[in-house]
Amino acid sequence: MLSFYPGPSKVYPQTLGFIQEAYEQGIVSINHRSARFESLLKETLENLHQKWDIPAEYTIYFISSATEAWEIVAQSLIEKKSLHLYNGAFGKKWGHYVEQIIPQASSLEFELNESLSEFATTISAEIKTEVDTLCLVQSETSNGTGQVINRKELGFSTDCLIAVDATSSMGGIELPWSEADVWLASCQKCMGIPAGLGVLICSPKALERAEKLNRKDHYNSIILMEQNRKLFQTHYTPNVLGIYLLNRLSQTLPSIQEIHQHTLEKMAIWEDFWTRQSSFEFDFLVGKQELRLPTVLALKGEASEVSRIFKLAEQHLIDLGKGYGTWKNNTFRIANFPSHTVEDIYSLIQLIQA
């Protein structure tokens, strides 16, 4: 099975060897309070800082998933009121989850072909002043939109924390770390390993907020997470295998700048194909090229044609992503993650053209 599903998706081929390596070396059985694990975690964090070009003052934490990170942000960082700006299902879900914890949390929806910066200009100064935490989705997996995160253009107070869900882009493209205070993602997409591990990245300002609120009554308190990170430990028994796989991959993969360039080159192949094809009617769900997420393509067409593409793919052991939410019946999605090769892309293109 060749998976183009937008997560969980195709893992890097070398991952199998690393899993065997972890078993043979006893990594899968080590105590997460041991010196051996501390050394592994320290090395992994250092490698990610270097390979992903994360600022030294930002801190990295391993959790179970991006969805868990939504809750961590609500429990540890939102002081009184958060605002969630979204144009797809996952941004909407994030706002819904937070409302169960922070009653004053609110959400605003913007259009599919509208940028965050454009929409932010329509939000009143009064609302912007009231908000202490702004929650955004950089990579909306449900519809294939990708947003530029620019703190100044958003126009919120300098005291306002900005938290960004980059689940379908972290590890696949360069991210403007300093433009936000919290970045979160899951590993089963651009990171190219099996599901079960999440990454939470915090700025010094985010940690200052956590210390100010001093909320220690939650299992996933950032204060507790930071106390353990300083010891190169985790606050709960972690996915040691996932951390090991991420560590080994970070040693062998190129820099994020090179990965970013490869991602754009592969996206160009897809855009050229879907622009030139004429034997069937499909188009990008996101009309504006600059708003298309280069790691997840969303294509729209007649429901019957979408169904035909899925049946054809299944017959050839290729897994595609079904449409999501509003676009369930007339769209499908294709992952364009770093683990996908140019050869993978042309295999799917040839199948579609057949």
pLDDT digits (tens, 9 = 90+) for 39-50: 999 999 999 999
Instruction: Check pLDDT > 90 for residue 73.
Output: yes
Instruction: Check pLDDT > 70 for residue 188.
Output: yes
Q: Is 65 helix (H, G, I), strand (E, B) or coil?
A: coil
The reported pLDDT for the residue numbered 318 is 97
* Rounded average pLDDT over 332-337: 98
Distance CA 248, CA 183 (A): 22
Task: Provide the pLDDT confidence category of residue 353 given band limits of 50, 70 and 90.
Answer: confident
Instruction: Check pLDDT > 80 for residue 152.
Output: yes
Q: Are 243 and 63 in contact (CB under 8 A)?
A: no
Q: In Å, what is the CA distance from 108 to each residue of 113, 120, 125, 126, 229?
A: 15, 10, 15, 15, 35
* Rounded average pLDDT over 243-247: 98
The reported pLDDT for the residue numbered 279 is 61
Instruction: Check pLDDT > 80 for residue 114.
Output: yes
The reported pLDDT for the residue numbered 354 is 73
Number of alpha carbons in the 13 Å side-chain half-sphere of residue 165 = 32
Using DSSP, how many helices (H) and how many strands (E) does the chain show? 13, 15
Structure token digits, residue 23: 């078993």
Residue with tokens 């060749």: 2
Report the DSSP pairing between strands 106-109 and 82-86: parallel
Q: In Å, what is the CA distance from 21 to each residue of 14, 237, 246?
A: 11, 21, 13
Number of alpha carbons in the 13 Å side-chain half-sphere of residue 88 = 27
Q: Please give the torsion angle defined by the CA atoms of residues 342, 258, 59 and 164, in that order, rounded to the nearest 10 degrees.
A: -60
Q: With residue 269 as reference, give the H or E element that holds it.
A: helix 256-276
* Rounded average pLDDT over 64-84: 97
Number of alpha carbons in the 13 Å side-chain half-sphere of residue 85 = 28
pTM passes above 0.95: yes
Q: In Å, what is the CA distance from 32 to each residue of 60, 235, 319?
A: 17, 10, 35
Across the chain, mean pLDDT equals 96
Instruction: Check pLDDT > 80 for residue 149.
Output: yes
Non-local (6+) Cβ contacts of 336 within 8 A are: 263, 266, 267, 270, 294, 295, 296, 297, 345
Instruction: Check pLDDT > 70 for residue 331.
Output: yes
The reported pLDDT for the residue numbered 325 is 84
Instruction: Check pLDDT > 70 for residue 278.
Output: no
Residue type, 112: L
* Rounded average pLDDT over 256-271: 98
Distance CA 203, CA 55 (A): 9
Picking from 115, 112, 109, the residue whose alpha carbon sits closest to that of residue 86 is 109
What is the DSSP-derived secondary structure letter of residue 297? E
Distance CA 66, CA 78 (A): 17
Task: Provide the pLDDT confidence category of residue 276 given band limits of 50, 70 and 90.
Answer: confident
Task: Provide the pLDDT confidence category of residue 280 given band limits of 50, 70 and 90.
Answer: low
pLDDT digits (tens, 9 = 90+) for 14-31: 999 999 999 999 999 999
Picking from 144, 172, 110, 168, the residue whose alpha carbon sits closest to that of residue 292 is 144
Task: Provide the pLDDT confidence category of residue 231 given band limits of 50, 70 and 90.
Answer: very high
